[in-house]
Amino acid sequence: MATTATPTDTAIDVRDLVVERGGRRVLDGVSCAVGRGTVTGLLGPSGSGKTTLMRAVVGVQTIRAGRVTVLGRPAGSPALRRTVGYLTQAPSVYADLTVRENARYFAALHGRGRAEADRAVADVGLADAAGQLVATLSGGQRSRASLACVLVGRPELVVLDEPTVGQDPVLRAELWTRFHAMAAEGTTLLVSSHVMDEAARCDRLLLVREGRLVADDTPAAVRARTGTDDLEEAFLRLIRASEDHPPDRRAPHPQRPDDTRAAQRRRPGREETS
């Protein structure tokens, strides 16, 4: 299949990214890099800009300024449509088709066969529901059906927006095992989450808050820097630190840290301001 123009160790390179939506700055000068074959967690409260950052990486977001390079090409390049897979937060599959029919369609778009589609369905634990209409599935099953339609293309870079929402703990663990198996085979994964115990499973963490990058480090380094083993507590400390020393002319945030903690524990709404 398609090879990338400049084979380097960097899968995603974001430089000074600014995105404005409806007159509001959603991303305010974000710079970060994601290495190939890693699982990178994108964390932050609802509305922090996670989805917008992912959309910019996939190339579907209009950007105001900055540069996003993906697998050596500008984000959104036609060649990347074969190598980048994107799971939107709301499951975007056809409700009036069965799980199998959905997977086979997306497989066909990537030139993959029916056997591969059926395997992708089994890989997300939906083999028993393959013949079921998506409309009749539970929320968690639906989002796994959507995931199957991403994985069936065997992308080099997988961008997953909240893939484990609504999944039971056993399935969540299985999905993470699968993500790491994919990374071991060279796939790069960028995964957003609200759940802090998932942060610990990532090779690297990006913490976004109010459109800015608060942390970009390994879980171990984050723990060491903040002096706590609890990643949730670590993030709170990082956020407090960033509020004590605001990096620009922004007004102090009205939200108290305690609210942030509550927001991170809350079940995320289906529709994040994306």
Partner 1 sequence: MSPRILAATTGRILRQLRHDRRTVVLLVVVPTVLLVLIHAMYADQPTPPGQRSLFDQVALVMLGFFPFVVMFLVTSIAMLRERTSGTLERLLTTPLRRLDLLFGYGIAFGLAGAVQAGIASAAAYWLLGLRTAGSIRLVVLIAAVNAVLAVALGLLCSAFARTEFQAVQFMPVVVLPQVLLCGLFVPRGQMAGWLQAISDVLPLSYAVEALQEVGAHAEPTGLMWRDLVIVAGSAVVALVLAAATLRRRSG
CB of 103 to partner 1, least distance (A): 11
CB of 196 to partner 1, least distance (A): 27
Strand partners, 273: none
CB of 86 to partner 1, least distance (A): 5
CB of 28 to partner 1, least distance (A): 16
- Which residues, 6 or more positions from 254, have their beta carbon under 8 angstroms from its beta carbon? none
Q: 105 or 127: whose CB is closer to partner 1?
A: 105
Hey, CA dihedral for 178, 179, 183, 186, is it positive or negative?
positive
CB of 182 to partner 1, least distance (A): 18
Q: 128 or 271: whose CB is closer to partner 1?
A: 271
Give the DSSP letter of residue 209: E
Parallel/antiparallel/unpaired status of strands 188-193 and 39-43: parallel
Distance set, CA 257 to CA 48, 111, 154, 212, 232 (Å):
14, 48, 40, 16, 12
Parallel/antiparallel/unpaired status of strands 212-217 and 204-209: antiparallel
> Which phi-psi region, left, alpha or beta, contains residue 237 (left: φ > 0; alpha: ψ -120 to 50)?
alpha
Q: Take residue 2 and report the two structure tokens written for it.
A: 């398609």
SS3 for 254? coil
Burial class (CB within 10 angstroms; exposed 0-12, middle 13-18, buried 19+) of 244? exposed
Give the DSSP letter of residue 270: S
Contact residues toward partner 1 (CB under 8 A) are 21-22, 58-62, 76, 81-82, 84-86, 88, 90-97, 101, 105-106, 108-111, 133, 149, 153
Q: 107 or 238: whose CB is closer to partner 1?
A: 107
CB of 61 to partner 1, least distance (A): 7
Q: 109 or 184: whose CB is closer to partner 1?
A: 109
Q: 159 or 238: whose CB is closer to partner 1?
A: 159
Q: 106 or 235: whose CB is closer to partner 1?
A: 106
